[in-house]
Structure 1
Amino acid sequence: MATANAPSPSGSQLSEAQDFLAKYRDVEAIDIILTDFHGIGRGKMIRRHELEGIYKSGRGLPSSIFGQDVSGEDVDDCGLVQTGGGGDCRCWPVPGTLGYLPHTGRGQLLISMYEEDARPHDVDPRNVFGAQVKRANALGYHPMGAFELEFYLVDQKPDASGLYRPASYTMTKRRSPLRNTMSVDEIDEMSPLFDAVYEGAKHLDLTLETLISEYGPGQYEMTIRYRDLMRAADDVIIAKRLIRTVARRFGKEAVFMPKPFGNEAGSGMHLHLSLAGKDGNNLFADQADGSLSPLMLHAIGGIRGTIGETMLLLAPFMNSWRRFASAMYSPASDDWGVENRTVALRVPGTPGKTRHFEHRIAGVDANPYLVAAVTLGAALDGIEGKIDPGKPCEDEIGAAKAPNDLPRHWLDAIDHFGASEFNKRTLGARFHTAFTKIKQAEYEQMAQKVSAAEWEYYGFSV
């Protein structure tokens, strides 16, 4: 049983806390962060003297955190609210995630939830994904990957009409209405903000790499270094909070809603994935004759067969579905291809030992642990079943595609998710039931909200 001074079930070591406190002697507070179903950080701000105690005996938090909707309201019938008398479960540090945010002056630590007998709590999203990592390890595979993050920067205050606008530049205070796609000068004008982001990343074991101005005004993309897939999912949680907290201190807001502006590009969270063997070599590497790895093709085949059932995790909110209104670079499909950005599962064209594939459907609002869980779970199913992915798609951008049977809207995705045996098996029955109930409740809440556009179009006309 995990009690005071018992070994941490997460594998965290007290020396990590001691090293941090010795290095950052002026830090007086640390944010401890448990990631909920929606990818939102819930937790506490603790004082410096409390940090070592979390490494020695964990910290209690209510498991009902996982029974909340996106606004933090309890969903009473999800099965996770006030269970077992409403008592706390114990949370332990995620090894390697204790870091410092220089712009806040505070530390930051990811935590994960465990039962009192040290078993991983079955509905913590990080543990849900961890079960699939353990499955991969048992088969001799080590999952590797990275996520790309697209997001908007907007001004903190709305304009006179009540609408938010793409952010003015931090250096010049100028505002451009143009797309400026891949403009290096646009990045330069916003560089004080991004310099602070990169500086913060140095203290968080977070290797942020390429930065570009994306397709929409005020939209940017940052890539993160490829590595162990579990840490890659942790990286998303850490990076989003880093970007958000830095932007706030420059009078901006970082927006990870996938479609903040209806007539502009949506923001995705592409997942790049491969499997390494016990020797560390990439098992998706091309064959000696230059052909694609059968293992990778089987993985793609497994994912293709489950995309429709997992769309609710890839596009979890009402706004998520606005991103699919245009198929341009937002493939709501189940096809695959080589060096083709119109498809859902893209194999980048660079051949050789670094071969991998890219899952392009998820929005930047998705929970990275859950995206990784169903992607890896389906890939393993495909490998075990030797599932043929079918012929690669060779369509050009803008070409009409054959219709598919994927969900077409949020409610349809909720129904598909709830009926899925794959989801129940991969995510666990209790998580599957709770997530379905929470999303049903969220849909019902949103369905009651009448938008300004409805008043404009229908209020005095019909």
Structure 2
Amino acid sequence: MLNRNELTFAELIQWFREQRVTEVECLVPDLTGVARGKILPRERFTEDRGMRLPEAVVAMGVTGEFPSEGPYYDVISPTDTDMHLRPDPSSVRLVPWAVDPTAQIIHDCFDRDGRLVPFAPRSVLRRVCDLFAAKGWEPVVAPELEFYLVARNTDPDMPLKPPIGRSGRAETSRQAYSIDAVNEFDPLFEDIYDYCEKMELNVDTLIHEIGAGQMEINFFHGHPLALADEVFFFKRTVREAALRHDMFATFMAKPIAGEPGSAMHIHQSVVDKRTGRNIFSNEDGSPSKEFHWYIGGLQRYIPAAMALFAPYVNSYRRLVRFAAAPINIQWGTDNRTVGIRSPIAPPQARRLENRVIGADANPYVALAATLACGYLGIVNRIEPTPECKGDAYLGDFQLPRSLGEALELLRAEADLAEVLGKSFITVYSEVKEIEYAEFMKVISPWEREHLLLHV
């Protein structure tokens, strides 16, 4: 197994030789979390470490469109300037489903002067981690990622349906935590675990979630950048494995009407790098001031960060009352009805779980944003509201109800822009406006059903 944290470029090339790698997929995560880049012969990768891509490649929407004017071009050069890409050796993995030995490696984006491109998702997460490091802290995260398995569907006008399992039948009822329901897809999950092992992805528990065909995978805790890379690779892996078993895997927040949405719950804590102590706990094991301030930061800034946690029009269909997703920013101990949960844990493992984030969020952006909220809470000593000890679904909505509303809140929040970068907020919000405008051109079945002859 590679020692990823200390891998040099020379050791990377030696590893290529040992693995008999013939091709290298040079990847860059864009704003949506899609893998962009180039595929090179190994010899070309070894010889040419100056690969370039247009900077707009990481700054376009899910439809592939770009803004045609406005503040976007105060950040993105209208002359289509190149980014200079540098491979991160710690991110290298084999592509287990490739016919010929192939490696995949994530690249960071730099400008011609050697500075990180500030609106590239990986750059944003690095920026936030650097703020923690400057305080002598290291954030620790553990994502829980939900997704649906669905039958192949090549017609976007047709609703998605659960896939056929080994029994020859599709799920028709909810099977939360059912072992037998997971076993229906044993051949698929055997491939997924095999791929994850070959890619050295640190996946932990697999469970069947509430929805028909809905699954959840948990990751072991670690450094945010490494975990964001693992989620990025895992999404790609699950989609590929599902296709090989004649089904789709989707990370849409709300793919099936009447079924619960899919989340990316992120557990997070902060360690003092000098002492190794979890700063969320006092010496006597009680919750620290930093623990409560971190909660205060999440409560204060999550509404403004919702466009980062729930990035599409579809995302807001998940956030409804009594639907296994939060509707507010209350916090509570071992309470799954709140947006900010504190699981039962020993003092050294005290942590918070942000339950607001959707499975459709870009993992780099989501991790950067939730850590930014907590960071601001600690440095500004923001006190939280009293703990919610009842059913938070009975309370008021405290989150934006649409992407348009969320974008207004994001643009107005100067503190988040300062931490995440003003240029990133500009590019991100302008791209999301384009996506929203594209969506508004589509007439839905609901409109035809209820408005055609009734208004």
Amino acid at match of 1:386: R
Q: Give CA deviations for 1:133-167 in whole Å, capped at 9, x if unaligned.
A: 11110100011111111000111236898332111
Q: How far did residue 246 of structure 1 move? A: 1.2
Determine helix, strand or coil for the equivalent of 2:349.
coil
What aligned pairs does 1:20-35 form with structure 2 within 5 A after superposition?
A: 20-25=15-20, 27-35=21-29
* Counterpart selection for 1:199 from 185, 194, 200: 194
Identify which of 223, 244, 251 aligns with 1:249.
244
Aligned to 1:103: 97
1:204/1:425 CA distance change after superposition, 3 Å: same
The answer as to 2:345 corresponding to 1:350 is yes
For residues 219-258 of structure 1, the aligned pairs below 5 Å read 219-258=214-253
Question: 2:87 corresponds to which residue?
Answer: 93
SS at match of 1:227: coil
Query: 1:79 aligns to what SS in structure 2?
Result: helix
Taking the aligned partners of 1:48 and 1:209, their CA distance within structure 2 comes to: 32
Map 1:279-298; keep pairs closer than 5 Å: 279=274, 281-298=276-293
1:61 aligns with 2:53: yes
Listed as ranges, the gaps of 5+ residues in structure 2 are none
Residue matched to 1:273 = 268
Task: State which drifts further: 415-424 or 205-214.
Answer: 415-424
State the one-letter code of the partner of 1:457. Answer: H
Change (3 A) 1:228 1:436: same
Q: Which runs of 4+ in 1 moved over 6 A?
A: none
Identity of aligned residues (%): 31
Of 199, 207, 210, the residue aligned with 2:205 is 210
Aligned residue in 1 for 2:378: 383
Distance 1:280 1:37 in 2: 36
Q: 1:161 to 1:298 in 2, by over 3 A?
A: closer
Distance 1:194 1:53 in 2: 38
Q: Deviations over 1:14-49 (max 9, x none)?
A: 234323322322x43332221111112111222232
Counterpart of 1:361 in structure 2 is 356
TM-superposed deviation, 1:12: 6.6
- DSSP-derived class of the 1:283 partner: coil
User: Which secondary structure state, in structure 2, belongs to the residue aligned with residue 153 of structure 1?
Assistant: strand
Alignment of 1:134-173 (within 5 A): 134-157=130-153, 162-169=158-165, 171-173=166-168
Q: How far apart, in 2, do the equivalents of 1:166 and 1:455 lie?
A: 26
Q: Which residue of 2 aligns with 1:73?
A: 65
Counterparts of 1:161 and 1:117, CA distance in 2: 47
User: Which of the residues 416, 433, 445 maps onto 1:452?
Assistant: 445
SS at match of 2:264: coil
Structure-2 separation of matches of 1:155 and 1:403: 34
Alignment-mate amino acid for residue 434 of structure 1: V
**Mind listing any 5+ residue stretches in structure 1 that lack a counterpart?**
1-9
Kept in 2: contact 1:167–1:175 (CA 8 A): yes
Partner of 2:175: 180
Taking the aligned partners of 2:275 and 2:366, their CA distance within structure 1 comes to: 24
Tell me which residue corresponds to 2:395: 401
Distance 2:87 2:403 in 1: 35
Do the aligned partners of residues 53 and 394 (structure 1) sit closer, same or farther apart at CA in structure 2, a change above 3 Å counting?
Answer: farther
Deviations 1:300-323 (A, max 9, x none): 111211111111001110000000
Aligned to 1:6: none
Q: Per the alignment, in what secondary structure is the counterpart of residue 270 of structure 1?
A: strand
**For residues 70 and 143 of structure 1, what CA distance do their matches in structure 2 show?**
29
TM-score normalised over the length of structure 2: 0.93
Check 1:146–1:243 CA distance in 2 against 1; reply closer, same or farther (3 A cut). same
Name the structure 2 match of 1:121. Answer: 117
Alpha-carbon distance in 2 for matches of 1:139, 1:249 = 47
